[in-house]
Structure 1
Amino acid sequence: MTTVLLILVALGFLSIVVEDIVHIDKAKTTLFFGSFAWLLFFIAPPAHLSHDALMKSLNDNLLDIATLWLFLMAAMTFVAYLSGKGIIDSLVNKLLPERISERKLMLLTGVFAFLFSSMADNITATLVCIAVLMNLNLPVKKLMRYVVLVIFSVNAGGTALITGDVTTLMIFLAGKVEIPDLLLLSLPAAGAVAALALMLSLGLSEEVHIKKQNNVIERGDKVIALLFFGTIVGTIAANVAFGIPPVLCFLFGLSLMFMVVQFLNKDEPILEYIRKIEFDTLLFFLGVLLLVGMLKELGMLAYFPALYDVMPPVAANFLVGLASALFDNVPLTAALLNSGIEMNLSQWLSLTYSVGVGGSLLVIGSAAGVIAMSKIEVLTFGSYLRYFGYLLVAYSIGFVAVLGLGLLV
């Protein structure tokens, strides 16, 4: 049965790769294979697990999925409202000139995505960045380059803060790294983003013309924009001070948005914005997480600590980063921490970087990539894979820079 389940998981991921060939929406196929695998897991459980053990496994996975689902729903509703009211258009009009070179826009995109994801979470940063890029009406091939940079940048931006990436927080709580060391980690991560931006800007020599529009933003909509920013800041503060899960803060922020709109404009059908979010994105997310959860339950992550017995820690860390493009980096990091492997500070910093940034190498390797693929039709597994060489070089540059940083600290 373990073999059958692994085949189903492989078919689920393969269905994403061949979506352009079979013309079946990846949300349908991943949900089918993910739910089917869990059904068989209950019918003929490997290792003859008890029903209680099966229920605990399912409940743990559903809890993780529900947390991400609700967070994503809240963030997408915020962004749908701000986009529908023209606030994002207004932001673009104020921040960008009427004409800007494509190379300069590439650099600004990387910087904005990197910094925004350092303050917010990867999901929110990706949604906002994509909304801004879509409003620029870029040619499809050029849009792909900017989106690839956004995915890499938002993953790199969160590696240096315990609030920016769960794996960074896990390694910090385990006592492997300190806050000052992590803050220095932002330098190699930013260097990797800069290297990727430079490579992706090769061949871009034209200017982007931005149509300036005089959008009149009503007072109530400005209040909602401030509320969105306050929700992001409050989420970080509440998590650091009281350990409150981000999903709870975002749901509270969403409820505040509903109440504010109710009192400022009673005729506004605010709940309609929930219906405007792309539920195929949520279903795709659900299917992918069911597949990843099954890999975890089958014990596939238990093999990775063995890498450190057959190769140097630095080489193993580099490969673990590559593996995080296929495996969820949170249980992967937990498996490594629980294995008791011994490494010095430089090596722990390289692991922090690799599990945080490595997921960018494949579009299905991070939440940012999954969301972007669901929001942008031309972004598929295959189209993203064409940039794998650029991404691998940028990832490697950052990794080597982290090793150099480790020697200094």
Structure 2
Amino acid sequence: METIIIILFVLGYLAIAIEHSLKIDKLIPALLMMAALWAIVSTTHMDVYEVNAAIKELEPTDLHNILVHHLGKTAEILIFLMGAMAIIEIIDFFDGFGTFKKYVRTKNKRKLLWFFSFLAFLLSAIIDNLTTTIVLITIVQKIIKDRQLRLWFAGIVVIAANAGGAWSPIGDVTTTMLWIGNKVTTLALVQQVLLPSIACVAIPTFLTSRLSNFKGEIEQEQELNEVPSNTSKYGSIMLYLGLGFIIFVPIFKTLTHLPPYLGMMFSLSMTAIFAEIFSRRKFALTTLDENSNNPTSYHSPLSHSLGRIEMPSILFFLGILMAVAALESLGMLFHFAEALNNSIPLLGTESGGEKISDLVVIILGFASAVIDNVPLVAASMGMFSAGLDDSVWHFIAYSAGTGGSMLIIGSAAGVVAMGMEKIDFLWYLKKIAWLAMLGFLSGSIVFILMRNFVLNS
């Protein structure tokens, strides 16, 4: 039966990786794989286990308990993400992200490149790399009319957004998973991953800025600071409020010692209160004006925002996390991790009583450029039993978060940029991939040097 389960998982994984060729949304194979794996486990009465991190051994348990355990952990992540998505949509309801256009004060191409690179790096640490990419590429499209130049900007935004999300517990799905899963804490993650992430984005940005494409100034059809007539006067206020409440989530967790999703629900409710006040409309969650294309015609900003949440993404996370949980419950990931570490030369250091090769983690980074980093991190959480804030979790957060930049299809940010600018896969491979790889490897070196000679000294 274990062989059949592995085959089904590989086939499901393959279907997710080539979803564009199959023309099937990746959530479908993810949900099917989840249901099929657990059905086999149940009907064949396979033994299930729970990993005891303290003694690094598998302990037998029953199917109901392990299902509730994994569903609880998965639900925490999904509720957290839904809250964050809703806050972002509320900000967008008031055109809050249009505020960033006011800060574009230069026409110099190189300065603009550094500006968007820095903004993507910072913004993705607060919201997420996907939303950051959408917001910034939309702004780039409004101020740069040369499409070839925009493609370069889009490529750097993808690299910067992925790097920015890697050092923040709320900046990327994978770091959020590690944070909620009690693998990392906020301060330790920032301390160990911030500088490697800066190196990851600074080197590609510097090399790109020296190219001949970035000499001179941009040509514009409109003024940089021109404000659209339909911009809400509360846009800037809602931007700062929304981002401020998102940043407050780690503080809430530290003060109350409650799970992060409760903090996100608190932040969502506070953001929604201000949105209702500013919209001056009666709160009516279920009442929508279906005949109007104007989002401000909705009776509630929260109602509009909840309707725009990416439910396919939420269901995909549910399917893939629970599918990986099935492998973890059977002990497969635990044994695979042992075999992987024994077969690859040890390049890392012994931490927490467990030896994990740096090469293994770097391979995970390259793998995340081909396959989704969510299941990769989910699998690593079941493979390794290192303790809270062990350096391996910080390295995994960096590697999985930034490695996806090496291919346009390797991250959610890359996929959305590909769609918005119609970026050709081969163009990205020739022009951007080598920059992303240099950044990824540079950041990896910085991380290893910091861990071995600075943080451990």
TM (normalized to structure 2)?
0.70
Deviating above 6 A after TM superposition, structure 1's stretches of 4 or more consecutive aligned residues are 48-52
Question: Structure 1 residues 171 and 244 mapped into 2: Cα distance closer, same or farther (>3 Å)?
Answer: closer
Deviation at 1:223, TM superposition (A): 4.4
Counterpart residue number, 1:353? 395
2:322 matches 1:290? yes
Matches within 5 A, 1:66-215: 66-89=75-98, 91-97=99-105, 99-101=107-109, 103-118=110-125, 120=126, 124=128, 126-137=130-141, 139=147, 141-142=151-152, 144-158=154-168, 167=178, 183=191, 186-198=194-206, 204-205=213-214, 207=218, 209=220, 211=222, 212-214=226-228
Counterpart residue number, 2:377? 329
Counterpart residue number, 1:56? 65
**Aligned counterparts of 1:55 and 1:156: Cα–Cα separation in 2:** 34
For the Cα contact (< 8 Å) 2:200–2:443, is it kept in 1?
yes
Question: Structure 1 residues 299 and 376 mapped into 2: Cα distance closer, same or farther (>3 Å)?
Answer: farther
Counterpart residue number, 1:246? 260
Deviation at 1:7, TM superposition (A): 1.7
2:447 matches 1:402? yes
**Aligned counterparts of 1:87 and 1:252: Cα–Cα separation in 2:** 20
**Structure 1 unaligned spans of 5+:** none
For the Cα contact (< 8 Å) 1:57–1:297, is it kept in 2?
yes
Q: Give 1 or 2 for the bigger CA radius of gyration.
A: 2
Deviation at 1:18, TM superposition (A): 1.9
1:320 counterpart letter in structure 2 = V
2:453 counterpart letter in structure 1 = L
Deviation at 1:275, TM superposition (A): 0.9
Structure with the higher fraction of residues in helix conformation: 1
2:236 matches 1:236? no
For the Cα contact (< 8 Å) 2:136–2:157, is it kept in 1?
no
Deviation at 1:127, TM superposition (A): 1.9
For the Cα contact (< 8 Å) 1:192–1:395, is it kept in 2?
yes
**Structure 2 unaligned spans of 5+:** 51-59, 283-298, 349-355
For the Cα contact (< 8 Å) 2:250–2:260, is it kept in 1?
yes
SS of residue paired to 1:46: coil
Deviations 1:323-351 (A, max 9, x none): 263554366257534499xxxx9xx6576
Deviations 1:287-340 (A, max 9, x none): 332333233234343232454445224281232242263554366257534499
SS of residue paired to 2:24: coil
Deviation at 1:8, TM superposition (A): 1.8
Q: Which range is displaced more, 321-330 or 244-253? A: 321-330
TM (normalized to structure 1)?
0.77
For the Cα contact (< 8 Å) 2:91–2:239, is it kept in 1?
yes
Q: Which range is displaced more, 42-51 or 63-72? A: 42-51
Deviation at 1:183, TM superposition (A): 2.7
**Aligned counterparts of 1:263 and 1:378: Cα–Cα separation in 2:** 33
Counterpart residue number, 1:304? 337
SS of residue paired to 1:244: coil
**Aligned counterparts of 1:280 and 1:298: Cα–Cα separation in 2:** 27
Deviation at 1:395, TM superposition (A): 2.1
SS of residue paired to 1:136: helix
Deviation at 1:75, TM superposition (A): 1.8
Q: CA RMSD in A?
A: 4.2
2:364 matches 1:319? no
Pairs aligned (count):
389
For the Cα contact (< 8 Å) 1:31–1:287, is it kept in 2?
yes
